[in-house]
Amino acid sequence: MVVPQIKPLSPGEVLGCTSPIIEGVDALVFIADGRFHLESAMIMNPSLKAYRYDPYPKMLTIEKYDLPQMMEIRRAAIDQAKDAKKFGIVLGTLGRQGNPLILDHVKQLLEQSGKEYFVLLLSELFPDKVYKLARDWLWFDILLSKVIRVTASPD
């Protein structure tokens, strides 16, 4: 058994933005009542089988993650962003969720491209409220350091 660690977390502690690449094992066994953090581990280790034990109903399940679909969704978001003129960037403020380095990098890319942007600090993202601020903007959310979503305002 391998109990990986990414500092400053404790050994075996995994957050959605801090999953390690795990080598020398055949499978992941994750003890949790939800999938979010396990999904991060599955993204970082797509060749490993994943099992999740939920201690509340005492169930062990085989978990799957559609990595090609995720890549397709991200590619579509990138394509959509190519034509956008104005961008809203939501940086998470809850705990260590927001990554200022990613924010700085995104801002730098937008400035180099001559794009208009606005940074909004939020502890939790409510898309409907964000869209009310600027419906015709394309919104990035940087609430976790490995997860960046790009969303256009609904018509």
On the question of pLDDT at 148 being above 70, the answer is no
Considering the domain architecture, whether residues 48 and 95 belong to the same structural domain is answered as no
DSSP assignment, residue 154?
A: P
Considering the domain architecture, whether residues 1 and 36 belong to the same structural domain is answered as yes
pTM: 0.69
- Residue at which a domain ends, from 65, 90, 116: 65
Structural domains counted in the chain: 2
Q: Residue 123: which domain range?
A: 69-152
CATH number of domain containing 41: 3.40.50.11850
What's the pLDDT tens digit per position in 76-120? 888 888 888 888 888 888 776 777 888 899 899 999 999 999 898
CATH number of domain containing 100: 3.40.50.11860
Considering the domain architecture, whether residues 73 and 147 belong to the same structural domain is answered as yes
Bridge-based pairing of strands 86-92 and 116-122 is parallel
Read off the pLDDT band of 46 (50, 70, 90).
Answer: very high
